[in-house]
Amino acid sequence: MIRFIILIALVLFSTAPALAQECGPSCPVCSGNSGSGVVLERNTLLVSGLLIPTGEEERGVISARYGVLKWLDAGVGYTVVTRKPVWSVRARAIEERKDGWVPALVVGTGSVQMGGSDQSVYLQASKGFDPSPNLGLRVSAGASMLIPEVNRIYGLAGATATVFERFSFFVSYDGLNFHEGASVSPVDWLSISAMMVESKDLAAAVSFTHAFGG
């Protein structure tokens, strides 16, 4: 019951008036790269920085995300050039079944602030596969809409391949643009990535993860 109430609150809270935007609702620059569709574990903190040296409108985002509950996380961030806050909340409505084909279903709302200030609400399914001991795959698909532009629906899609648990290759589509990249995790708490934002701007990202006890 509590989960249902929070899901409804996410949708209602995201309907505050907003200005027009110039990129997709899950752009990694605007969202702080938080649109993967996987909710953080409870009591886990993720701090990340994204740098786009040749970005036309934004060149960096600093963000932090925390696993509030087993099925809920929340994040805040700050855009370096436009100097505006970004925020997002994600709730897992359906748990992924590891032994079957049932995907996780995530409901979320995120801030999009590249050339404007928007809020989007989205629904995204995400499923992981393990074809072999050294290869992991995760695919996601969904739809989102900008508030208050409820008459326009954006498609969302993504895929990640992880090799030997340390190297990952990924591609995502935010409804308007594709973003491709690769990452390496030399240790469990550190991830370093290189990506092409909108398939044209080279970007670098680093993230730190810490799991608190309890």
One digit per residue, the tens of pLDDT, for the chain of length 214 reads 555 445 544 444 444 433 333 456 566 666 555 555 678 889 999 998 888 888 777 788 888 989 999 999 988 888 888 787 888 888 999 999 888 889 999 888 876 544 444 567 888 898 999 888 899 999 989 888 877 666 778 888 888 999 988 999 999 888 888 889 999 999 999 999 999 988 988 999 999 999 997 5
Q: Whole-model pTM?
A: 0.81
pLDDT of amino acid 3: 57
pLDDT of residue 8: 44
For strands 190-197 and 153-163, give the pairing.
unpaired
What stretches of 103-152 adopt beta strand conformation (E)?
Answer: 104-112, 118-132, 135-147
3-state secondary structure of 127: strand
Rounded distance between C-alpha atoms, residue 113 and residue 133, angstroms? 40
Structure token pair of residue 77: 């961030």
Q: Tokens in use for 171?
A: 């591609």
Residue 133 main-chain phi, psi, to 5 deg: -60, -25
| 17 upstream amide cis, omega within 30 of 0 | no
Contact of 16 with 119, CB cutoff 8 Å: yes
pLDDT confidence of residue 27 = 67
pLDDT digits (tens, 9 = 90+) for 41-57: 899 999 988 888 887 77
The pLDDT assigned to 213 comes to 75
Domains annotated for the chain, with CATH where assigned, are: 2-211 (2.40.160.40)
Please give the Cα distance from 18 to 79 (Å, whole number). 17
The pLDDT of residue 127 is 92
pLDDT given for residue 13 in this prediction: 41
pLDDT at residue 29, as a whole number: 62
Tally helices (H) and strands (E) across the chain.
2, 12
> Which three-class secondary structure state does DSSP give residue 2?
helix
Predicted confidence at residue 25, as pLDDT, reads: 58
Which of 38, 71, 32 has its CA nearest to residue 138? 38
3-state secondary structure 29-61: HHHCCCCCCCCCCCCEEEEEEEECCCCCCCCEE
